[in-house]
Structure 1
Amino acid sequence: MTDDGELDLVVRWSQGDAALLGIDRDAEAANTAAAAEAGVGAEVVEYRPDLSMLAITFLPGEALVDASFADPGVLVRAADACRRLHAGPRFTGDFDMFRRQAVYLRTVRENGYWLPAGYDDHAAAWEGVRRALAAAPRATVPCNNDLLAANFIDDGRRAWLIDYEYSGNNDPCFELGNTATECNLAPEQVDAYVECYFGAPTCADLARVRLQMLCSEYGWSLWGFIQAAASPIEYDFRGWGMERYEKAVATFRGPLLTRLLEDVARA
């Protein structure tokens, strides 16, 4: 609210084929409202699906960038925001990257979109990661699932979370792992971020977050390849997807995957 009584708003006008990317606009609006109820998101002022518009209150603060996470205070506030969201009201719908990856891959193939030649070479390892995570399941919580740096608004005292296009109930470790890889956190920063969230993380907690980093990379890379073919926006979506795919390949082929698969099941 401004001094003259006017309300500062942000109006999101959605374009493009939401179904192609698995976006449910009704769920997005409902979950945005639930995040506000949890005390971590902007309030929904009006939702107009007929106009593809969602009006929310303006959150004062600065959108983070990757370099922001070098500040230990930012790590603390970001982790706190995630905990508050995860403790809030259940979301409409669920999010599972293994199911989403399968849908995205089918979309790519059915439409003849470009795909790296070696993408399917990692199918067996991908299934191994799925089995390892499923063998030691975690209770799902309301997650944003797309917490890149710009979706944190930080006012220096607390962080807020925005953009609930891909929100749904999910493993909280995916939330942490997605941010860790999207924000290019160094290994020691990943450890610090996980510690800020859990307090005293176990070996299994750390392994689970790192495996979910891999899930984020391998799954979201397909989002980039779909956008490269279908989006009217002039942006190097293929390069965006390849950056994530190459990160995933490095883990699939690296020396640490076997240990992570073993550690994730430890008590």
Structure 2
Amino acid sequence: MAVSEGSELSALLDRVPLLAGGPRTVEELPGGLTNRNYKVVVPGGAYVVRVQASDGALLAIDRDAEHASSLAAAAAGVGAPVHAYLPELGVLVVGYLPARAFTEADLLDAANLARVAEACRRLHAGPRFVRDFDMFEVQRRYLEIVRERGFRLPARYLDFLPDVERIRKCLAVRAEGTVPCNNDLLPGNILDDGERLWLIDYEYAGNNDPCFELGNIWSESALPPGHLEELVTAYHGRRLRHKIARARLLGLMSKYGWTLWAAIQDGANDRIAFDFWSWGMEKYERAVAEFTSRGLAGLLDEAARDD
């Protein structure tokens, strides 16, 4: 449904040459907590305009890197084409993909896991990104911000730091390099045009362990462990226990790290009406269950040894 542009949005769109000077319709798209997204249709075509809703500095969002990563993902054939970038306005314009966004129900359908794995392989085989992403470093940096600024920290959060160090050292034993990863594949960032999948939103993109990508997909949608096994197996073409364990451990780090993303948003962002704290606590509670489970030691053992 088309929406009224409003004077502020209208003035902004008029400063984008591709979208100015003619008739247009505008529709606000759902999703996005650090951006506002609009579908804009002009005589020349349909586009998605991403307007930053916060500067992203505390969250380590680099808009120039996001633009470069979006270009690389488009070159890999898995991201939307990039048409304009106006950093002074906080605007990125990409092509509109006539596709529907995945939901958690789509990822619960095991038939889709091979398709997701194939899309990830296409991205991971594409041009490298301009920066790296390591959740251990991101989590450490987020924790410094939370403590320095006096933001809320979940109960017992620091108790699990020794386990985090054990996981980091364990994963270093079989580290096999990094590939360009999206690092934020929520269901809504996976689009289905009926024939193939597309991956969108490269705010947190960076070269990373591919098992983080897979573990993060599993974690963000709270999928059963068996679904992660199927996803990792489809990605590698065969069942590898150490890769499955590695993805499980990085999925745990995903929950633990993104908890602090929510704590920072809860403490610093009063412009977006969203309950960041509850969103983060849901992840944290699942992380605590994994940290305190008897299965953690077994995952560490499997991740470090040959199949």
Into which bin does the TM-score normalised by the smaller protein fall?
A: over 0.9
* Partner residue, 1:176: 214
Matches within 5 A, 1:1-267: 6-231=44-269, 232-267=271-306
8 Å contact kept, 2:233–2:240: no
Corresponding letter in the other structure for 1:239: S
Corresponding residue SS for 1:16: coil
Greater alpha carbon shift after TM alignment, 188-197 vs 122-131? 188-197
Spell out structure 1 runs of 4+ moving beyond 3 A: none
Could you say what secondary structure the match of 1:196 adopts?
A: helix
What secondary structure sits across from 1:8 in the alignment?
strand
TM-score w.r.t. length of structure 1? 0.97
1:141 aligned partner, one-letter code: V
Query: In structure 2, how many angstroms separate the alpha carbons of the residues matched to 1:67 and 1:234?
Result: 26
Distance 1:105 1:174 in 2: 20
Q: After superposition, give the CA deviation of every residue in 1:167-197 in whole Å (9 maximum; x if it has no partner).
A: 0000000000000010111122111111111
Offset at 1:233? 0.7
Matches of 1:72 and 1:112, distance apart in 2: 43
CA contact (8 A) 1:203 1:266 kept: no
After superposition, what is the alpha-carbon deviation per residue over 1:57-116, rounded to whole angstroms, capped at 9, x for unaligned?
Answer: 011111001011132332121111100000000001000000000100000011110011
Aligned-partner Cα distance in 2 for 1:236–1:90:
35
CA distance in 2, matches of 1:74, 1:262: 30
Count matched residues: 264
In 2, Cα distance between the equivalents of 1:197 and 1:155?
Answer: 21
Residue 19 of structure 1 aligns to a residue whose secondary structure is coil
Secondary structure of the corresponding residue to residue 169 of structure 1: strand
Q: Distance in 1 between matches of 2:85 and 2:232?
A: 35
C-alpha separation between the residues in 2 aligned to 1:201 and 1:137?
18
Q: Secondary structure at the match of 1:20?
A: coil
Over residues 223-261 of structure 1, what are the superposed CA-to-partner deviations in whole Å (9 max), with x where a residue is unaligned? Answer: 011111112211110011111111111111001100110
TM-score, reference length from structure 2: 0.84
Instruction: Note the residue ranges of structure 2 that are not aligned, 5 or more in a row.
Output: 1-41
Larger Rg: 2
Measured in 1, the distance between the counterparts of 2:287 and 2:167 equals: 12
Amino acid at match of 2:75: E
Distance 1:195 1:134 in 2: 21
Unaligned runs of 5+ in 1: none
Q: CA RMSD in A?
A: 1.1
Per residue, is there more helix in 1 or in 2? 1
Shift, 1:5, TM fit: 6.1
Give the counterpart letter for 2:255 in structure 1. Answer: E
SS in 1 for 2:77: coil
Identity rate, percent: 52
- The higher relative CO (CA closer than 8 Å, separation ≥ 6) is in 1
Distance 1:8 1:217 in 2: 35
